[in-house]
Structure 1
Amino acid sequence: MSPHHVNLHQKQQPPAASGATGDGSERPVLVIIPGAWHHPIHYNQLAKNFRQLGFEVEVVELVTMGEPEAILGKTHHEDIKVVRDTIQPYLDAGREVALVAHSYGGFVATDAAAGHTVEDRREVGGRGGVKTVVYIVSPASGQKGIGLMASTNLVRGEHPALTEGLVDVQGGVMSLTEESWKSLYRGVDEKLAKEAFAATSRYHNSASFMSETAAGARDLRAPLTYVIAGDDNFIISPAVQHRIADSLGPRCKKHALEGSGHAPWMQPELLPRLLDIIKGAVQG
């Protein structure tokens, strides 16, 4: 089997190493934050590859998706708490963490990192902290006090939202249509794409797309990376992704993955490049 073969249901093994780099230092802990409608199982391949490289990896389970009655009233602030509860033990131990955020997860990552970066903690005599944030095809906001949808609309300009026929909004929840898998997993092997779609939640609380940020990515005291999916046609086009990346400020480096859909780690031909981008950001 190829080292980059994608298997959605492959069981995850414990970290291959404790995080030591060989020079006496420790690698940052990678914390993967899923996109809307997605669960940790969707990121098995990404997590597996980084564990094989000796990284410790956590993949959080967000609480704004699920059955409608269970998610109504929840906003992205509940998801922020999930991320902070995950990273806090590492920060308490003086460890550095890197947030790797997919799509909606990037909106959560910014607020989760605010006030907890390595620079923030060092300023008050602490150790560890969020070393970097990697946004993968994410509607991240460069400014505070604004919701995800409003922020994206500010930078979208003449480019329309690519939602027609893909997402329904009703009763306070956003649901995926039966045909949305074709755009959500564009470029992914059809069998795997259908398998991944079957594992999604289908429902995500629409309030989490409108709740206001407490921080903007431009204000984060950490280096940022934005991965642009060059062939994505799910909600935010590559042109809009470029604008979002540019809006995140001078500390953000952007990388374009040509031929990539909304889930580039599920495309074996793109996975090595994605791994290199993330590894470079984390170890930089």
Structure 2
Amino acid sequence: MADSKKPTLVIVPGGWHAPSTYSKLTAALEAAGYEVRIPALLSVSNSRPPTADLNTDTEVVKDFVTELVNEGHNIVVILHSYSGQVGSNALTGLGVEERSKAGKVGGVAHLVYMCASASLEGVSMIDKVKEFGHMELMPLAFDFAEDGSGVVAAPKVTMIGEGVPEEEAEAYINTFLRWNGKCMYQPISRAAWREIPLSYIYTTNDMTIPLVYQKSMVEAIEKEGCHVDTYELQTGHCPNLTATDGVVDIIKKVIAKVQA
């Protein structure tokens, strides 16, 4: 990024998460002087049966970010959980370097995978579960209906963990919507991290995307020849809620590197 202007931050929600679910992180980032935008994923709704999936979410995020970069925004995209699949799929061709080669201003300067799925092409989220032999744990973690929509079975335990008062945890969970669990079985076809610099935030106490999954994904990306800056938070799967200040500090460090 050539100038000193702060980039726009785009947070792409994870499964079950609505834009409002990120209100605490959004407020903290805005207090630090950043502009924050959040698209709503169509697979995250209370539709029965679900009417959208990974492909639909990909188009939503692609269109959302394309509009911003065409307006000249330089963007850092924060991808949480499932949205790592969406962002990887959606953001190819939108990087600052790719757009500059085409004589265009604006672009995605950096991807931040926050305990997010960071897969190679042709890989789904469920492939990682199978790789580690954890398929029998799926019914314990998630409650999926016959129509494919589902909820988190014990969100205070598997999603949040320790670190916030009971009332705050309840308010967070109350923003959740049903998600199309079929998205977990859909592989990505593109990997934007091949074109756009990336960082990964490890969450060491994560019970939804365990640390061993996270590290294996980063290792796989680095084997493809892409460097990954890594950071670590001692928290569960929702650091936006349970380690907000830590996330903000990491984003500041990422942006300092982007602007250097």
TM-score in terms of structure 1 length: 0.81
Matched to 1:274, the amino acid is V
2:126 is matched with which residue: 110, 127, 149?
Answer: 149
1:261 aligns with 2:236: yes
Q: Cα distance, 1:253 vs. partner? A: 1.4
Q: Cα distance, 1:69 vs. partner? A: 2.6
1:114 aligns with 2:114: no
Q: Cα distance, 1:218 vs. partner? A: 4.9
1:40 aligns with 2:19: yes
Find the counterpart in structure 1 of residue 79 from structure 2.
101
Superposed CA deviations along residues 58-84 of structure 1, whole A, max 9, x for unmatched, are: 011110022243624x22121122222
**May I ask how many residue pairs the two structures share in their alignment?**
252
Does structure 2 retain, via aligned residues, the 8 Å contact 1:222–1:251?
no
Gaps of 5+ in 2: none
Percentage of matched positions with identical amino acids:
25
Gaps of 5+ in 1: 1-22
Counterparts of 1:1-284 in structure 2, within 5 Å, are 25-69=4-48, 71-72=50-51, 74-141=52-119, 143-150=120-127, 152-153=128-129, 156-157=131-132, 163-187=138-162, 188-201=164-177, 203-219=178-194, 221-234=195-208, 236-249=209-222, 250-258=226-234, 260-267=235-242, 270-284=243-257
Q: Distance in 2 between matches of 1:107 and 1:37?
A: 14
Q: Distance in 1 between matches of 2:102 and 2:247?
A: 34
TM-score in terms of structure 2 length: 0.88
Does structure 1 retain, via aligned residues, the 8 Å contact 2:111–2:199?
yes
Please, what is the CA RMSD of the aligned residues?
A: 2.2
Superposed CA deviations along residues 1-43 of structure 1, whole A, max 9, x for unmatched, are: xxxxxxxxxxxxxxxxxxxxxx964221100011100111111
Superposed CA deviations along residues 193-235 of structure 1, whole A, max 9, x for unmatched, are: 122112211x21123222231212552x12111111111112x
Matched to 2:143, the amino acid is D
Does structure 2 retain, via aligned residues, the 8 Å contact 1:167–1:174?
no
Matched to 2:154, the amino acid is E
Does structure 2 retain, via aligned residues, the 8 Å contact 1:64–1:75?
yes
93 and 244 in structure 1: CA distance in 2 versus 1, 3 angstrom threshold? same
SS of the residue 1:36 aligns to: coil
Q: Cα distance, 1:99 vs. partner? A: 0.8
Matched to 2:26, the amino acid is A
In proportion to residue count, which structure has more helix?
2
SS of the residue 2:143 aligns to: strand
Matched to 2:126, the amino acid is M
Does structure 2 retain, via aligned residues, the 8 Å contact 1:224–1:251?
yes
Moved over 4 A (4+): 158-162
Q: Cα distance, 1:117 vs. partner? A: 0.5
